[in-house]
Structure formats: structure tokens, C-alpha cells
Amino acid sequence: MPVYSRTITVKEDIESAFTFTADFRNLDKWNEGDEAELITKEPIREGSVFKVKTHFNNRELELDYEIIEWGAPLRASLKTDSRNFEIVDTIFLSANAKGTELTYSVDIRYKGIFILIGLFFGPMFNKLLDTNIKNLEEILGPV
């Protein structure tokens, strides 16, 4: 199934970059039009769930994203599962001489008829990820 991934280096320190990106309550700041709320109790950790209101292909969607991996400040994975697809967003971070290297990866597993139809969504997902990573770079400080 398709995996979309982008890597940037930002000025923000690794802890701050992780905290900002892995907390989906900040999603509206870098993924235009999306909103998310934490629906489980703080602190954010493995098992925490965000309710995300998003849109794709002119459709509004409401998805629950659960944190399935929480390795602060190096890695976090969030998963949503619907009738038509399963998506795992993974954030990888590492410190380097210029700042923080951040890789955002989206692994999509289509179900049913979407196994065939989903192949046509590739250009839309690439464009969306390009926009999101550019927004993250602007917020976290380009090098």
C-alpha cells in the first residue's frame, strides 16, 4: 500500500518540534482546515485519542486517531481506522548540526473497493503532504 514521506530540517530543538508535531491539537496550524481535540485524559501518551475533523477530495471526515507509539522526542505514530482505509501517520525526529531533522510519513492501507480506487488518490496525497511539510517548516523555522 502507498507510503508518502517527506523530510525537512528545522531550527526548532528536537523536544519542541516533537511536542508541537505529535500533539494533533496543533493540526490546524499546519494542516489547513483540520481541527483536532484530545478526547482522552492528559498527559498525551500511547493510547491517547484525538478526534480529527478533516476533509479530503471535497468530503468532510471525522476520524479518531490513536497514538500507537510514543517514543518522545524521537518518534510517534498515530493510527486511524475506517471502513475504507487505515492510516498510520509517523513522525521521526533526530538532532543534527543544523537543528532537527523531521520526517513525516503516512502509510495508507485501503480496504474493499478502495484498494483499486485508492491508487488514483496518490497525486492528491502528495500535494497535501507537500503543503503540510512546507507549513511545518515555516512554523518550526527553516534552516
Domain residues for 122? Answer: 3-140
Cα-to-chain-centroid distance, residue 9: 16
The SS3 call for residue 45 is coil
Find out whether 57 and 121 touch, Cβ atoms under 8 Å. Answer: yes
Tally of domains within the chain: 1
Distance CA 132, CA 127 (A): 9
The interaxial angle of helices 14-22 and 122-140, nearest 10 deg, is 130
pLDDT tens-digit readout, 60-102 = 999 999 999 999 999 999 999 999 999 999 999 999 999 999 9
The enclosing domain of 81 has a CATH number of 3.30.530.20
What are the grid coordinates assigned to 34, written together?
A: 483540520
Q: What is the mean pLDDT of the chain?
A: 95
Q: What is the pLDDT of residue 91?
A: 98
For residue 56, pLDDT over 90 is answered with no
